[in-house]
Structure 1
Amino acid sequence: MAARNSGKADGEPQNQPIPADDEVAKEVQRATDKAQEQGFYGVETDPTPNEHYTVAGVVEGKPTPETDKDAAAEARRAAGLA
C-alpha cells in the first residue's frame, strides 16, 4: 500500500497509508510516481539534447530549435503543434 505524507504540527512529515477506497489519493500518487520516474511533470516538448544549449554545443554548431529549422520542426512535432 502506498503512503501519504501529511505534516505533523511541528512540520515533520508523517507517512500514513492511503485508504484502499481513496481513488483521488491513488491517482495523485500515480502522477507523482510517474513524475519522479521521468524527472518532471507533464510532457517533454523539446527533444533537443541539453548539451546542444551549452557553450561547447554552440561552438560545435549543434542544432537547436532557435537556430535550425529542422530542429524547430522536430520540436513543434514533439509539442503537438505540427
Structure 2
Amino acid sequence: MPVLSMFYGIIVRMYKENTGKHNMPHIHAEYSGDEIVITLDGTVVEGKIPKNKFKLLEAWIEIHREELEANWKLLANGEQFFRIEPLR
C-alpha cells in the first residue's frame, strides 16, 4: 500500500479497493501499532488511534483534501500516486 506521508509518528497510506466496505475514498493511518481507516470527509470506517494523533490526522486531511482526492483518482486509474507534504 503506497505511503503518502509520514508525520509525528503517523504513517498515512492509500490504495483503491474496488469492492467491500472501503470502496469510498479513504486513507489508512497507523500510529504505534494502532490503525484507523478514515474517509476523506473525516468519517471513521474502522479502527482508532490516540485522540491527539487523530486530531493531527484530521487537520492534515483538511489541509490536503484536494491532493488526497487527486491521489485517489490516480490510484483508481492504475497511475502513479504522489507524496503529500507532512504536517509540520
TM-score normalised according to structure 1 size: 0.31
Which one has a larger percent strand, Structure 1 or Structure 2? 2
Higher CA-based Rg: 1
TM-score normalised according to structure 2 size: 0.30
